Amino acid sequence: MDPILAETSPYRVLVCDGDVVDLMAAHRILHLIGCKPDLAGNGLAALQALDQHAYDLILMDVDTPELDGLEATRRIRERERRLFQRADPRPPLIIVGMSAGGARDIRVRCLTAGMDDYIPKPLNLAGVGLIIMHWRGFASAPQGA
């Protein structure tokens, strides 16, 4: 990512993952590529974070405690539908599913739940960098918010 762009207009990312090691790894990777990450340990915490801040993208683990990533995504999309009916001008939030599970249908389950993309875990710098570069132009939050 362009270091000047990252400094002047940081990309705000919410990482939702129930595994502390995976959260810390994602946090470090996102910092390395110039993003401003926030962390949530489950789907409920992610929904609460969305009430507090605007994000450009969410990395959403499918299997989180209390409220899994698929259901959290469904709730986010429902919120967006209600806002759209009130003429909210923001485009939908970009949600990228993550999973360490080897289920062949996990990508389909993510997309069916309303996610925009999928990345397998463990996360790595190159994979996350490609996801961020791909979706940066579709960001819904005001840059630097």
Instruction: Let me know if residue 91 belongs to a domain.
Output: yes
Strand-pairing partners, residue 15, are: 39, 59
Q: Which of 58, 32, 33 is nearest to 47 (CA)?
A: 58
- Whether omega before 122 lies within 30 degrees of 0, making that bond cis, reads yes
Tokens of 20: 């502390």
Instruction: Identify whether the C-beta of residue 17 lies closer than 8 Å to the C-beta of residue 26.
Output: yes
Instruction: Let me know if residue 141 belongs to a domain.
Output: no
d(CA 115, CA 27): 20
What is the mean pLDDT of the segment spanning 92-103? 88
Instruction: Let me know if residue 98 belongs to a domain.
Output: yes
Structure confidence at residue 58 (pLDDT): 98
Structure confidence at residue 126 (pLDDT): 92
Alpha-helical segments (H) within the chain? 3-8, 20-32, 43-52, 69-85, 106-113, 125-135
Instruction: Let me know if residue 64 belongs to a domain.
Output: yes
Strand-pairing partners, residue 13, are: 37, 57
What is the mean pLDDT of the segment spanning 40-58? 96
Expressed as residue numbers, the domain containing 24 is 3-136
What is the mean pLDDT of the segment spanning 116-131? 94
Structure confidence at residue 118 (pLDDT): 95
pTM as predicted: 0.87
Instruction: Let me know if residue 144 belongs to a domain.
Output: no
Instruction: Let me know if residue 45 belongs to a domain.
Output: yes
- Cα dihedral 129, 135, 137, 138, rounded to 10, equals -160
Q: Does position 144 have pLDDT exceeding 50, yes or no?
A: no
Instruction: Let me know if residue 145 belongs to a domain.
Output: no
Count of domains for the chain: 1
pLDDT band at 140 (very low <50, low <70, confident <90, very high): very low
pLDDT digits (tens, 9 = 90+) for 72-85: 999 999 999 888 77
pLDDT band at 142 (very low <50, low <70, confident <90, very high): very low
Q: Return the CATH number at 85.
A: 3.40.50.2300
Average model confidence (pLDDT) across the chain: 87
